[in-house]
Structure 1
Amino acid sequence: MKLMSSVGVVGVGDMGSEMVAHLVADGHRVWAYDPNPERMKAAEADGAMAASSPADAAHHADVVLSVVMSDDIPAAHSGPDGILAGLRPDAVVVMCSTTTPAVFDAVRGNAASPQNVVDAPIVGGVKYARERSVTFLVGGDPAAVDQAEGVLTSLGSVQRVGSAGAGVKYKLITNAFVMAAEVGLREALDLTDILGGDYETALRLFEVGPMAAVVKRALDESNPRPLRASAQDFDALLSVVDDPARLPISAAGRNRLWAAVEADPGHEPMFVELTRRTTALSEYSQGDRRS
């Protein structure tokens, strides 16, 4: 029988909002915070109680899930309104963001009890959060991980990968592999353009080969993700090496993905558009976002 906890969720955007609903359904008492009022209304409609700040969410919680974008981590965790200011001595904060070891170490170093800071970046997108099938790559003190796991298993599965900081590192490692395949899909379609082929035939052939899973994920509009977020993940990945040339595939992939993101300054592309001519090389691009 699962032990119910009081859970703080800081960040109730695309991922966090799905988590709130599952945590409430499993009987956890949830305190949610997000600076966006509309997101807060949605979290309350799902059964969460509204916290006035990240510190307030942490004050009420046995386990705090931090589900913010990497750039928002310092503000969400530090200062008088940050998670660490409200974190109780017996509580654990779980950082679910894709970030860098340096950012994680900075948060952990500022905590009154560093052993109570766990890293658990997520493998899987919005669709997987909705289906309770994300995977958390968890690093941390065994006792803190035990405490966090009772909450995380309401949302998906847990892979313990080592001491504090290991989750962040292994997420970057897995991203290097996954994102190389995703950019490879875009490059294969670039070659389709160059050779005068059509996308429908190319994608159909990709789906019957070894890259079928990559194509299926790219085409899945039930799992929305801004393409910019993927480009930023490449930036995070390359920031951990002293010279991007040491990871030449990732460096080239980062450049190609940012070119796709910035192809139309008036349009913010979604990940599915890797399979469309809106992200093609400039001489082949088309404005129709459906093809």
Structure 2
Amino acid sequence: MPLGIFSKCQPAPECGCLKQREVFMKTVGVVGLGDMGSGLAKNLIGNGFQTWGLDLSKDRMAQFEEMGGTPAHSPAEIGAQSDCVFVMVMNGDQAKSVILGSDGLVANMSPDGTIILTATIKPAEAQSIGRAMEGSGVHLIDSPVSGGFAGAQNGTLTMMAAADAAVLDANASVMNAVSATIHHVGTKAGDGQTMKACLQTLIGSIFSATFEASALAAKAGVPGGALLRVFSTSGAGCGVANTALEHIIDRQFEGTGSHISTMHKDLTISLELASNLGVPMHTASAAMQIFQAGKSKYPDGDNWVCTRVIEDIVGAQLHRNPEGST
């Protein structure tokens, strides 16, 4: 099967589509039930999969159980109970511990089980995990995702999946439960993370340009609603910029499901990869400094809070409607 793109479809039973080749309903696990992982769990449960879950937060575990999930007490328990496990943790060290630890997934999953690494980590870390799993009989799909909180909750994520085609084929229904589009971007561990690093340089740069444009408009007295209408219907309009601007003009800087620490981490990964490969990254480096400023001043904020740093400097704020209007 060549590398390519697979979209959701509803084929007849005889269709050979990637989506319809599983002959039994898998039991699925999710390690990490935060903004993204809770969305994975929600859609797996909604698609009829028995779903085990694990998170360090008692509140998240309670919410997971309320939506119909089965709580686990360790990665080992999830591994022993699941045919396929999503790993949606924050960084590479956590991923290695969950997957490779003595109480981890690989040591407790049955042969032919599959781990889907949806967390965004360094490509080299994913490669290391892949090497360590060789000979275990457990498969790894290196598949970071894009689509943010809304995509996770709505089951419309884009997956950048790297694994043998047969492994993707065997886990198609599970992956389709949480995504709208699956891109087959490679066959080796690390291929998915490399694609995600490239993507995040673009997304981070669009975000930072939107933050600066918003502060410029605020200082110039341009109403936020008008700015959004123009941006969203122009050649520059895109989901990334539109979403950022919506949150900025409505002054929603926390609790939107896009914590600033995540993009800060992702840009760190992108810039490290670029440094290792000798690739200059002028725009992404500038974006990183904007996110560093936002994270330093407003550590509890979401991505859009970077705008407040610039607004604080210029002494103006961008609102949807002009001051005094309704």
Q: TM-score, normalised to structure 2's length?
A: 0.79
Contact 1:180 / 1:250 at 8 angstroms: preserved in 2?
A: yes
Matched residue, 2:3? none
- AA partner of residue 122 (structure 1): V
Q: CA deviation at 1:9?
A: 0.8
Matched-pair contact (CA < 8 Å) for 1:245–1:251? no
Alignment match of 2:286 (pick from 234, 252, 271): 252
The CA distance in 1 between the partners of 2:168 and 2:36, in whole Å, is 21
Q: 1:205 to 1:235 in 2, by over 3 A?
A: same
CA deviation after TM superposition for structure 1 residue 234, in Å: 0.7
> What does 1:155-166 correspond to in 2, within 5 Å?
155-156=178-179, 157-164=181-188, 165-166=190-191
| Aligned-partner Cα distance in 2 for 1:106–1:51 | 26
CA deviation after TM superposition for structure 1 residue 62, in Å:
0.9
Aligned equivalents of 1:287, 1:199: Cα separation in 2: 10
Coordinate RMSD, CA, aligned: 2.7
| C-alpha displacement of 1:92 | 0.7
What secondary structure sits across from 2:290 in the alignment?
helix
Which residue pairs with 2:145 in the alignment? 122
Q: Report the CA distance shift for 1:144/1:204 in structure 2 as closer, same or farther (over 3 A).
A: same
The secondary structure found in structure 1 opposite 2:107 is helix
CA–CA distance in 2 between the matches of 1:114 and 1:258? 41
1:262 CA displacement:
1.8
Cα distance per residue 1:122-174 (max 9 Å; x no partner): 11011112221111110012222222222011111311112122211111112
CA distance in 2 between counterparts of 1:141 and 1:173 reads 22
Structure 2 unmatched runs, 5+: 1-12, 14-19, 322-326
Structure 1 counterpart of 2:177, from 154, 171, 177: 154
Measure, in 1, the Cα distance between the counterparts of 2:261 and 2:230. Answer: 27
Match of 2:79 among 55, 58, 61: 58
Post-superposition CA distance 1:6-26 (Å, at most 9, x none): 111111111111221221222
Q: Using CA pairs below 8 Å that are at least 6 residues apart, which structure has the higher relative contact order?
A: 2
Match of 1:144 among 167, 173, 191: 167
5+ long unaligned stretches in structure 1: none
Q: Share of identical aligned residues, percent?
A: 23
2 CA distance for matches of 1:245 and 1:252? 15
Q: 1:92 to 1:187 in 2, by over 3 A?
A: same
Paired residue for 1:232, among 245, 255, 265?
265
Give the letter for the 2:285 counterpart: A
> Cα distance 1:82–1:286, how it changes in 2: closer, same or farther (>3 A)?
farther
The offset of 1:286, in angstroms, is 6.8
* Matched positions, count: 286
Alpha carbons of structure 1 residues 188 and 82: separation in structure 2 relative to 1, 3 Å: same
Q: Does 1:106 align with 2:128?
A: yes
> 1-side partners of 2:32 and 2:315: how far apart?
35
User: How big is the shift at 1:54?
Assistant: 1.1
More off after superposition, 129-138 vs 204-213:
204-213
Q: Does the aligned pair in 2 maintain the 1:58–1:86 contact within 8 Å?
A: yes
Question: Equivalents in 1 of 2:90, 2:152: separation in Å?
Answer: 16
Q: Residue 280 of structure 1 corresponds to which residue in structure 2?
A: 310
| Deviations 1:35-80, CA, capped at 9 Å, x for gaps | 2122111111112212111121111111111111125222222321
Q: TM-score, normalised by structure 1?
A: 0.88
**1:186 corresponding residue in structure 2:** 211
Residue 207 in 1 paired to residue 232 in 2? yes
